[in-house]
Amino acid sequence: MPASVSLWPVSGIPEIRSGDPLAEKMLPSLRELAQAGDVLVVTHKIVSKAEGRVVDLTTVEPSEWARQWAEKWKKDARQIEVVLRESAGILRMEHGIIVSRTRHGLVCANAGVDRSNSPGETVCCLPDDPDASARGLSSSLSQSLGFTLPVLISDSFGRAWRIGIINVAIGVAAMDPFTDYRGQDDPHGYPLEASIMGSADAICAAAELVMGKTDGVPAALVRGFDWKPMENPSSKSLIRPLDQDFFR
Amino acid sequence: MPASVSLWPVSGIPEIRSGDPLAEKMLPSLRELAQAGDVLVVTHKIVSKAEGRVVDLTTVEPSEWARQWAEKWKKDARQIEVVLRESAGILRMEHGIIVSRTRHGLVCANAGVDRSNSPGETVCCLPDDPDASARGLSSSLSQSLGFTLPVLISDSFGRAWRIGIINVAIGVAAMDPFTDYRGQDDPHGYPLEASIMGSADAICAAAELVMGKTDGVPAALVRGFDWKPMENPSSKSLIRPLDQDFFR
């Protein structure tokens, strides 16, 4: 029987501020909890905050266009302005919802710009380079802990055809983001052709079960999943290339 | 600190054949493993098999249209014929890939028709009414075990903008498929407006971490998640209504 997998909330992480050394701030909690073989999932919010990717809305001058659209849909024009700045392209802009492709290539609502869990009149943007953030965390934490700790940076995304947000991996370090069943045979000997599990996304989705939005638990450890080490994984590999995107 | 969540593969379930009483077949394994508070995730394959939703391709006469399309993309015309029969509407049909809306309203590749894990020249379709299947299993198993065991029926779906398949819930019984954060305040007092987690989908995604495609483990128990009982949940609530679907 395959072993069980367990999900552990990482609590005790202090409130993170711009410029904070995130690995150092997380280390005391992880020293108590983390074990060799674990994967660490970190919500992007604390990464963005540590990296100063928080925008004070009182400093934002919205364009006329952002102003008009915000007025029409009763949104904060300054926040809309930030969303537009963070977007490389707009896919849909209807009913007050902006679905855009971020500079990272991620397709999500509001370019990942989020007001919740940010103090005061601020919004939180996605990290500039979430893979680099993940690599930095993984390398620093692995060194301190004495074993390789892969890191996934997560955000909760809406989906094209389904209701409810689900965590996905927007940054990956030290592990293969996929489990590739191709080439293996199923128990009936039929090759599993189109079977590549997005394990990094599945792990992030799982982590949400112990993190919750309101509990203020910004990280989780996933124990018992048989991940494959990888030196330079890229979260870009989890993004469907534009030329394969049927739903632009 | 919130308690941990654990995922347990349910092994020892015998090969399921058409007409098999599925709850009865699963009961010995579950008697050993299941605990009050658990959620049971069952891959749709064994549900479909028990319900006779397996099509022998040697009995299928493909239409001329299915034949031409299959020839162009080097597919099995009989399997394409079954996919078309299972589809209520086609969203995209490009590069040999059919993305359709099933009769249940689910948007997925090949209308959920799958050759893997089916014996011989057969394909496996989705259950006719996955919520009814989940209800039947949950009610029968709960009675035998002496506590309420919510059941989620899962399938692995591709996604519009991301690579890698992820399990989602296509059938739900005895639990609320969502965790609704709306109306709650985050730690900074900002209301979490658009925050409804698709917990049933997250639980199914998590379950895949212990099931695997090739191990032949068709079910998993999820322990420690604080699910909310619900008498008649519907997996339809997880499907984005057509009038909110920006990407038809």
Q: Taking 50 as the threshold, does the pLDDT of residue A44 lie above it?
A: yes
Mean pLDDT across B223-246 = 89
- Look at residue A208 and give its three-state secondary structure: helix
A100-154, pLDDT tens digit by residue?
A: 999 999 999 899 998 866 667 899 999 999 999 999 999 999 999 999 999 999 9
Domain match, B174 and B195 both: yes
Of B168, B201, B209, the CB nearest to A225: B209
Give A80's pLDDT tier (boundaries 50, 70, 90). very high
Give A3's pLDDT tier (boundaries 50, 70, 90). low
Give A195's pLDDT tier (boundaries 50, 70, 90). confident
ipTM over 0.85 threshold: yes
Domain match, B109 and B149 both: no
Domain match, A118 and A140 both: no
Of A4, A181, A200, the CB nearest to B213: A181
Q: Taking 80 as the threshold, does the pLDDT of residue B167 lie above it?
A: yes
Q: Taking 50 as the threshold, does the pLDDT of residue B1 lie above it?
A: no
Q: Taking 60 as the threshold, does the pLDDT of residue A190 lie above it?
A: no
Residue B17 lies in a domain: yes
Q: Domain containing B16 — which CATH number?
A: 3.30.1330.100
Mean pLDDT (chain A, rounded): 90
Q: Taking 70 as the threshold, does the pLDDT of residue B160 lie above it?
A: yes
Domain endpoint, select from B108, B125, B142: B125
pLDDT of residue A93: 85
Domain match, A135 and A209 both: yes
Q: Which of residues 18-47 of A touch B (CB under 8 A)?
A: none
pLDDT of residue A1: 43
pLDDT of residue B162: 92
B87-108, pLDDT tens digit by residue?
A: 999 988 877 889 999 999 999 9
**Which has more pLDDT, B2 or A31?**
A31
Q: Which of residues 153-172 of A touch B (CB under 8 A)?
A: 156, 158-168
Domain match, B119 and B202 both: no
The nearest CA of chain B is from the CA of A93 a distance in Å of: 9
* Cβ of residue B102 closer than 8 Å to a chain A Cβ: no
pLDDT > 70 in chain B, percent? 90
pLDDT of residue A70: 94
Mean pLDDT across B211-223 = 85
Domain match, B32 and B133 both: yes
Q: A177 lies in which domain range?
A: 6-53+126-240
Residue B216 lies in a domain: yes
Domain match, B186 and B134 both: yes
Contacts of A5 in chain B (CB under 8 A): 6-7, 206, 209-210
Residue B60 lies in a domain: yes
